[in-house]
Amino acid sequence: MMIRPLLTMACLALVLAWGAPVAASSQVGPFGPQQDLPPAEPAVLGRLPAAAPALSIAVRGRLAAIPAHARGVHLVDITDPSKPRLLATAAVKGQAYDVALWDDKMAVATWKGGLEVFDLRDPAAPRALGQVATHSNARSVAVLDGGVVVTGSWSAVDFENGDPDFGLEFWDLSGAQPRRLSELKTPGWAGDLAVRGTTVYVADGPGGVRVVDAADPTAPRELGSLATEVRAYGIDVAADGRLYVADNAGGLFIVDVAEPAAPRVLGQLTPGGAAYGVAAAAGGRVWLALALGGDPSAAGRVLLVDAADPQRPRILAARGTDRRAWGVAVDEAGHAYVAATDAGLWVLAAPEREPYGRLWLPWLSGRG
């Protein structure tokens, strides 16, 4: 009979039409063995190559801010995600690596330039408010409730082992110039920060994850820590308090921080490449930004991961980028804004279909 060969060819054509699989697994269902269909591709809603080199990204309302090293910070109108529009580029004294937005202000970590602050009441004409030197090279920045800014800095001397002489600095911005309130050293290099309430979560490179209580920003204290496999580059905290960590070749870590003194790994996904940026989305989903090589010309990849079951995270969608993807942020509609280094800004939308439907293979079941 020709039924099974024809079915085989039809199913192969279906799989090829849906794209090459990132990961596949099988299980036994009520009708015999089933096979995961490959993930979908997120739709590219828009691109802005002029927003390069895009090293990271922050989104607030209709505005995206993209640090671009010596070029400054690109300010982009994302009212229409399909047509991102460059409003202005804020010049900085150093090299812009990270940015935080709150109210009508912007704080920028500018490496040797330290912390720089801007007024964004008119984002098409950003106005510098102040600049202050950090104890070492400012690499990351975040804002606590109440407007206290925290920066992460390091000397860039020992990439593999970290730098315990530097770490976090907390700043009061109520005056004409930023005023240092306190400092808390970390063992690695504070490459990214996430804030929930008065707690600061630190992606500390070789220092893993650090959990810091900043209820009193004049006397911050470390509550707990967690070692990761490689180097923690990116970090984000979901509305439910779950923590997501981009750990370079270690992939994605899903972490329970209900007990801040004892963070606990719930699950891990190692999709290949080097994970640099991460952003929590609704429904237990998370976007992950990857580089597929260390060279500036290397390509990147962006994954949408279902982490609702943290012990079995699965890739829902995957999209390649022309250059390394270093950062990602999510807006209220769930769109992902990707900092794709020399490829600028990419705007992605989650696929509408559920990519992991089950395909019944009757010739493997012994039936039919």
Q: What angle do CA 229, 235, 241 make, to 5 degrees?
A: 110
Q: Does residue 241 lie in a domain region?
A: yes
Q: Does residue 177 lie in a domain region?
A: no
Q: Does residue 178 lie in a domain region?
A: no
Q: Does residue 87 lie in a domain region?
A: no
Amino acid at residue number 176: A
**Average of per-residue pLDDT across 233-241:** 96
Give pLDDT tens digits for 152-166.
999 988 888 898 999
- Residues with Cβ within 8 Å of 37's Cβ and at least 6 positions away in sequence, in order, are 14, 15, 18, 355, 356, 357, 358, 359
Give pLDDT tens digits for 98-148.
999 999 999 999 999 999 999 999 999 999 999 999 999 999 999 998 889
Amino acid at residue number 43: A
- Residues with Cβ within 8 Å of 285's Cβ and at least 6 positions away in sequence, in order, are 304, 305, 306, 307, 308, 316, 350
DSSP sequence for 45-109: EEEETTS-SB---EEETTEEEEE-BTT-EEEEE-SSTTS-EEEEEE--SS-B-EEEEETTEEEEE
What is residue 19's predicted lDDT score, i.e. its pLDDT?
34
Q: Does residue 345 lie in a domain region?
A: yes
Give pLDDT tens digits for 189-220.
999 999 999 999 999 999 999 999 999 999 99
Percentage of the chain modeled with pLDDT above 70? 85
Per-residue pLDDT at 174 exceeds 90: no
Give pLDDT tens digits for 239-255.
999 999 999 999 999 99
Q: Does residue 279 lie in a domain region?
A: yes
**Average of per-residue pLDDT across 167-187:** 93
Q: Does residue 200 lie in a domain region?
A: no
Q: Does residue 180 lie in a domain region?
A: no
Per-residue pLDDT at 95 exceeds 90: yes
Q: What is the pTM of this model?
A: 0.87
User: What is the rounded CA–CA span in Å between residue 347 and residue 166?
Assistant: 35
User: What is the rounded CA–CA span in Å between residue 328 and residue 177?
Assistant: 30
DSSP sequence for 148-212: -EEEEEE-SS-TTT--TT-EEEEEE-SSSS-EEEEEEE-SS---EEEEETTEEEEE-BTT-EEEE
Give the CA count within 13 Å in the CB-facing half-sphere of 229: 17
Q: Work out the mean pLDDT of the chain and round it to a whole number.
A: 88
What is residue 39's predicted lDDT score, i.e. its pLDDT?
75
Q: Tell me if 343 sits within 8 A of 49, measured CB to CB.
A: yes
Number of domains the chain is built from: 1
Please report which confidence band the pLDDT of residue 332 belongs to, taking 50, 70 and 90 as the band edges: very high
Q: Which domain holds residue 288?
A: 35-50+231-368
Which of 170-179, 321-330, 337-346, 349-358 comes out lowest in average pLDDT? Answer: 349-358
Which CATH number goes with the domain that contains 363? 2.120.10.30
Residue written as tokens 């206290």?
148
Please report which confidence band the pLDDT of residue 37 belongs to, taking 50, 70 and 90 as the band edges: low
